[in-house]
Structure 1
Amino acid sequence: MAYWLFKTEPDTFSIDTLQAQNVSCWEGVRNYQARNMMRDEIKIGDEVLVYHSSCKQIGVAGIAKVVKEAYPDYFQFNEASAYFDPKSDFSNPRWIMVDIEFVRKLDRIISLSQMKAMPELSEMPLVKRGNRLSIMSVSKAEWFAILEKE
Structure 2
Amino acid sequence: MNYWLMKSEPDTFSIEHLKQRRNQTEHWDGVRNYQVRNMLRDDFNVGDQALFYHSSCPVPAAVGIVTITRAGYPDHTAFDPNSPYFDAKSSAENPRWFMVDVQYTQTFPKPVTLKAMKANPELLASDFALLRKGSRLSIMPVTATQWSIILSMANAQHKQ
Partner of 1:136: 140
Spell out, residue by residue over 1:18-70, the C-alpha distance to the aligned partner (whole angstroms, 9 max, x if none). 11110000001100001101111110000110000001120101101000011
Unmatched segments (≥5 aa) in structure 2: 155-160
Partner of 2:158: none
**Distance in structure 2 (CA, Å) of the matches to 1:41 and 1:97:** 12
Percent of pairs identical after alignment?
47
Q: Does 1:3 align with 2:7?
A: no
**Distance in structure 2 (CA, Å) of the matches to 1:119 and 1:92:** 45
Task: State the Cα distance separating 1:125 from its structure 2 match.
Answer: 1.1
Task: State the Cα distance separating 1:76 from its structure 2 match.
Answer: 0.3
**Distance in structure 2 (CA, Å) of the matches to 1:49 and 1:149:** 13
Q: Does 1:67 align with 2:69?
A: yes
**Distance in structure 1 (CA, Å) of the matches to 2:104 and 2:92:** 30
Preserved contact between residue 64 and residue 103 of structure 1 (Cα < 8 Å): yes
Partner of 1:85: 87
TM-score, normalising length: structure 2:
0.91
After alignment, is 138-147 or 81-90 more displaced? 81-90
**Distance in structure 2 (CA, Å) of the matches to 1:120 and 1:38:** 28
Preserved contact between residue 57 and residue 109 of structure 1 (Cα < 8 Å): no
Q: What is the RMSD computed on CA atoms of the aligned residues?
A: 0.8
TM-score, normalising length: structure 1:
0.97
**Distance in structure 2 (CA, Å) of the matches to 1:130 and 1:10:** 22
Give the SS at the match of 2:96.
Answer: coil
**Distance in structure 2 (CA, Å) of the matches to 1:56 and 1:19:** 22
Q: How many residues align structurally? A: 150
